Amino acid sequence: MNVPGLEAYNWTVWLIGVVLFALVIGLVIAAILRARKRPVQLHSAAERLQREQTLGAEVETRLRELEQRRQGGQIGEVEYEALRAAVLAAAKG
């Protein structure tokens, strides 16, 4: 049973389906390539363990002193974070 114009309709639907499928595959490949370029994000506990393993005894002592000063109320949270960042930056640099 051939209906006039139905064959063109079938080809159009098929072509749209193929193009959409190719577009989805292309987007998936692009997402994979973008994800591979991003650095691996460590969980906070894993990141902390990695930092602590590479720190020397002097740096650990400074960090402990900063923590004690923060807990004792001698410095505020913002100042603590700034000083801690400076100590860690000096240790890595």
Answer yes or no: are the C-beta atoms of 66 and 83 closer than 8 Å: yes
**Whether residue 33 is found in the same domain as residue 54:** no
Total structural domains within the chain: 2
**Whether residue 48 is found in the same domain as residue 87:** yes
Q: Each residue of 12-26: pLDDT tens digit?
A: 999 999 999 999 999
**Whether residue 50 is found in the same domain as residue 80:** yes
Measured in residues, the chain has a length of: 93
**Whether residue 53 is found in the same domain as residue 84:** yes
Provide the residue range defining the domain that includes 54: 44-92
Mean pLDDT, the chain, as a whole number?
A: 84
Q: Each residue of 54-81: pLDDT tens digit?
A: 667 788 889 899 999 999 999 988 999 8
Model-level pTM? 0.43
Instruction: Give the whole-angstrom CA distance, residue 70 versus residue 55.
Output: 20
